[in-house]
Amino acid sequence: MRTVLAAALCMAAFAASAQVYRWTDDKGRVHVTDTPPPASAKNVRKSGDGPAATAPKASTQEPFVLQQARTNYPITLYTAPGCDACAEARKLLNARGLPFSEVSVTEEAQIQELKKAIGSALVPAIVIGSTAQRGFDPTTYHGLLDAAGYPATGALPPRNQPEPVPAKPDLPTVKPVAEPERPAGPYAPGAPPPAPAKQ
Residues facing residue 133 across a β-bridge:
126
What pLDDT sits at residue 32? 77
Instruction: Name the strand (E) or helix (H) holding 76.
Output: strand 75-79
Q: Report pLDDT digits (tens) over 41-80.
A: 877 877 655 444 444 444 457 899 999 999 999 999 999 9
Question: How many angstroms separate the CA atoms of 99 and 70, rounded?
Answer: 8
The CATH number of 20-147 is 3.40.30.10
**pLDDT per residue rounded down to tens, the chain (199 residues):** 454 444 444 444 444 445 777 778 877 777 778 788 887 887 787 765 544 444 444 445 789 999 999 999 999 999 999 999 999 999 999 999 999 999 999 999 999 999 999 999 999 999 999 999 999 999 999 999 999 999 999 999 999 999 988 666 554 444 434 444 555 666 666 666 666 666 6
Q: Which residue type is seen at 11?
A: M
DSSP result, 3-68: HHHHHHHHHHHHHHHT--EEEE-TTS-EEEESSPPPTT-EEEEETT--S-BPPPPPPS-S-HHHHH
Question: How many angstroms separate the CA atoms of 163 and 150, rounded?
Answer: 22
What pLDDT sits at residue 26? 78
Q: If we measure between CA atoms, which residue out of 116, 147, 152 comes closest to residue 29? A: 116
What pLDDT sits at residue 95? 96
What pLDDT sits at residue 169? 53
Query: Do the Cβ atoms of 102 and 124 come closer than 8 Å?
Result: no
Share of the chain above pLDDT 90, in %: 47
What pLDDT sits at residue 104? 92
Q: Report pLDDT digits (tens) over 60-70.
A: 578 999 999 99
